[in-house]
Structures are given as structure tokens and as C-alpha cells.
């Protein structure tokens, strides 16, 4: 008698989201130079009934939390890990802005490696296009 394969963690998460009747989850990615555009995308996605997660720290703007260069480097690594967790949680990725830097390119690659759909506010910057 064969037994069904156990569910992967990703399948378990998808099932839990369905059981909880959670709305579609979108993670916003992009350069922090587009924070205003990310806020606008957040507004549009939220009013369309989606749960939105996005970067909250613009480390290019001065702030006491990242004023020390050593602490800032450690914080950047933690924030990168946190953003990858947001990508794993999300049902899809929305890339905001007309520029793709190395970090965003890595996020897109990571999302696609997980089979996440990726949308762009500026499709012409899609590295796969």
C-alpha cells in the first residue's frame, strides 16, 4: 500500500492560507529609491483586496538605527534575510520602478526559483525579458 508523499512546507503554508481564507499576499520589491512608488503600489494592491508586505527601511536615508557603519552592515544582512522571508510568504512578487539593481535582481531570481509569479510596474526592466 503506497502512502501519499508528505506535504512540503510551501504546500502546508498554501493549505493554511486557504483554510484561514487569507487574501492573496503580494510582496513589493525594488530599489529603495522608489519608496514613494512602493507606497503607491501598496495602496493600489491593498484597495484591490490583497495583503501587501514591502521594505520598510530605506537605509540610504539617514536614521539613528543605521548611523553606525558596523551596525548598519549587520542590519542590512538581517533585512535581506527578512525580505527573503517575505518573498517565501507571498503568493506573488511586484517589482516597482524602472531600474533593477543587484539586490532586486537577486530577489527576482530567488522568487522565480521558488516558482513565485513576478509582475513589474515597468515590464521592460524584467531581466528575463
Average pLDDT value for the chain: 94
Three cell numbers, residue 38: 512602493
Q: Is the pLDDT of residue 100 over 80?
A: yes
- pLDDT > 90 in the chain, percent: 88
Please state whether 54 falls in left (phi above 0), alpha (psi between -120 and 50) or beta: beta
Q: Where do the domains of the chain lie, and which CATH numbers do they carry? A: 20-121 (3.40.50.450)
Burial of 1 (0-12, 13-18, 19+ CB in 10 A): exposed
As a whole number of angstroms, the distance between CA 51 and CA 25 comes to 5
pLDDT of residue 1: 62
Q: What is the mean pLDDT of residues 80-109?
A: 96
Count Cβ neighbours within 10 Å for each residue of 17-38 and write b for 16 or more, e otherwise: beeeeeeebbbbbbbbebbebb
Between the two ends of the chain, the Cα-to-Cα distance in Å is 47
pLDDT of residue 4: 80
pLDDT of residue 40: 97
Q: What is the pLDDT of residues 34-59, one digit of tens each?
A: 999 999 999 999 999 999 999 999 99
Please state whether 17 falls in left (phi above 0), alpha (psi between -120 and 50) or beta: alpha
pLDDT of residue 3: 75
Three cell numbers, residue 26: 503580494
Distances (CA, A) of 26 to 5, 64, 79, 88, 128: 29, 29, 18, 11, 20
Q: What is the pLDDT of residues 62-87, one digit of tens each?
A: 999 999 999 999 999 999 999 999 99
The pLDDT confidence band at residue 91, using thresholds 50, 70 and 90, is: very high
**In terms of DSSP H, where are the helices of the chain?**
9-19, 35-47, 69-89, 102-113
Amino acid at each position: 500500500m503506497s502512502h501519499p508523499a508528505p506535504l512540503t512546507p510551501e504546500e502546508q503554508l498554501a493549505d493554511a492560507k486557504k483554510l484561514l481564507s487569507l487574501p492573496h499576499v503580494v510582496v513589493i520589491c525594488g530599489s529603495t529609491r522608489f519608496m514613494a512608488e512602493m507606497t503607491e503600489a501598496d495602496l493600489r494592491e491593498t484597495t484591490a483586496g490583497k495583503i501587501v508586505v514591502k521594505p520598510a527601511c530605506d537605509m540610504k536615508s539617514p536614521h539613528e538605527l543605521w548611523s553606525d557603519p558596523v551596525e548598519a552592515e549587520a542590519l542590512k544582512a538581517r533585512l535581506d534575510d527578512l525580505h527573503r522571508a517575505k518573498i517565501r510568504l507571498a503568493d506573488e512578487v511586484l517589482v516597482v520602478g524602472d531600474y533593477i539593481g543587484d539586490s532586486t535582481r537577486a530577489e527576482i531570481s530567488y522568487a522565480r526559483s521558488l516558482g513565485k509569479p513576478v509582475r513589474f510596474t515597468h515590464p521592460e526592466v524584467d531581466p528575463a525579458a
